[in-house]
Amino acid sequence: MTIDLSRYIGRHEEQLVAVVQSRLEANTSSALDPNLIRKDVSDQVSTEEVITFLEKLVADELVFANNIKLCASEQCSEAETVNPLTDEELEASRCSICDQDFADAGEPHEQRHYLTHSPISRDIRWMIVVHGFNTRGPWQEELSWNISNKLAYAAPILIYKYGFERLGIFFRSRHKELVKKLGSEISSAIEKSKYSERAGPPDVIVHSFGSLLFSKLLLSDDFSDLKFGRVICVGSVISPQFDWKKQIDEKRVEAVLCHSGGKDVPVRIAQFAIPDSGPAGYLGFNSPSVENVHNKLFSHSSALEPKNIRAQLENGGLWDRFLTAPVGKFGDEDEVKKTEWRPVWKIVRGLSRILILAFLAGSLVLVWAVSSSLFMCLKSSLGV
């Protein structure tokens, strides 16, 4: 995403605006050092003017700023790179770079730091992936590979496999069994994670029928102690009315991204076949607490195609930003569909489900009848 700063020309020196523009595009860690920018612009502009412009961009949320503490020792002051003191160093009153106590080095001084992108407030600790029905989710391997390549450490991924589920999706009783199985597996994975370096609530990616199971897990009294990080819904068949705000307020989940697709047909008819489902994968969620991002070219599983997984997880990609940005700092320019969806009448949904099941049962009887008469024909023609 390139930010256009041309609107600031006039109120700020044109050359200054151009230099900051090119530095934003370069997007390196030292891109926005006021002294270096001043040198680039030539001496017509003072450092104060550069800072005034950067602060204006911070106010307009185009640039980020934080206050860092720097070691005051002679060695660290003369260093060419900026090494902000960490919380641990501040607590211990000792700089680990020059190995001096603040009592000897002098009190650390504060400096304003400008950043081209939002500071990462969190990392991907570990992840749970729940796929749709009628698939074992071959995309999950691509996802695991991309996540582990992306991070300097291995973020464990629990891929929940419940096997091929066809007829089970029509029955609430089967949903209940699958939720119980999912919940038990997640509970034991969370329990195990407590003994690893990557403890903390897992992030979650749910697809299709897997998203419905996950939403039912959140509502289940049996698993009310489970907490999750960021949740990405893809091709979701959850009802757009699902109350995510309540889940976020109760700290069951940190934030939700619904990545919907304009060509997702299965989710639009889901409510007629799968109880309690709805077309969130097409319309997004009604709740304003959810980040709804709509891609009009995406079909049911487009977001999970290897090339799209790679693009979404690369630095600055949609999922990367959602998974690593501070809460509330995530925003996207993609088209967002606003909606107030309501399910069709309960009686219509019940009837359509009965019809589908009757049709499936009829097809089974037909297949059985045809194959047994073929078998009889074959048997008599062979004279056995």
Nearer to Zn ion, 71 or 309 (CB): 71
Minimal distance, residue 67 CB to Zn ion, in Å: 18
DSSP 252: S
Total number of residues binding Zn ion (CB under 5 A)?
Answer: 6
Among 95, 128, 158, 313, binds Zn ion (CB under 5 A): 95
Minimal distance, residue 111 CB to Zn ion, in Å: 14
Backbone dihedral angles phi then psi of residue 247, each to the nearest 5 degrees: -65, -40
Say if residues 223 and 183 touch (Cβ distance below 8 Å): yes
Cα dihedral sign, 366-369-372-373? negative
Minimal distance, residue 96 CB to Zn ion, in Å: 8
Helices 306-313 & 139-150 angle (0-180, nearest 10): 30
Q: Which stretch binds Zn ion (CB under 5 A): 66-74, 290-298, 345-353, 365-373?
A: 66-74
Minimal distance, residue 95 CB to Zn ion, in Å: 3
Minimal distance, residue 98 CB to Zn ion, in Å: 3
Give the per-residue contact string, 283-322, with Zn ion (x = CB under 5 A; - = no): ----------------------------------------
Structure tokens of 178? 């699958």
Among 76, 158, 205, 270, binds Zn ion (CB under 5 A): 76
Nearer to Zn ion, 95 or 325 (CB): 95
Question: 283 CB contacts (<8 Å, ≥6 apart)?
Answer: 240, 260, 337, 339, 341
Give the per-residue contact string, 16-55, with Zn ion (x = CB under 5 A; - = no): ----------------------------------------
Minimal distance, residue 78 CB to Zn ion, in Å: 10
Residue 115's CB is within 10 A of a number of other CB atoms, namely 15
3-class secondary structure, 161: coil
Look-up: residue for tokens 């109120």?
11
Nearer to Zn ion, 73 or 116 (CB): 73
97 touching Zn ion, by CB under 5 A: yes
Say if residues 268 and 240 touch (Cβ distance below 8 Å): no
Q: Which stretch binds Zn ion (CB under 5 A): 68-76, 109-117, 217-225, 344-352?
A: 68-76
98 touching Zn ion, by CB under 5 A: yes
Say if residues 158 and 203 touch (Cβ distance below 8 Å): no
Residue 95's CB is within 10 A of a number of other CB atoms, namely 24
- Name the helix (H) or strand (E) containing 350: helix 346-382
Nearer to Zn ion, 44 or 96 (CB): 96
- Please give the Cα distance from 315 to 63 (Å, whole number): 17
Nearer to Zn ion, 109 or 342 (CB): 109
Q: Which stretch binds Zn ion (CB under 5 A): 38-46, 76-84, 231-239, 309-317?
A: 76-84
- Please give the Cα distance from 228 to 233 (Å, whole number): 13
Contact residues: Zn ion, CB under 5 A: 71, 73, 76, 95, 97-98
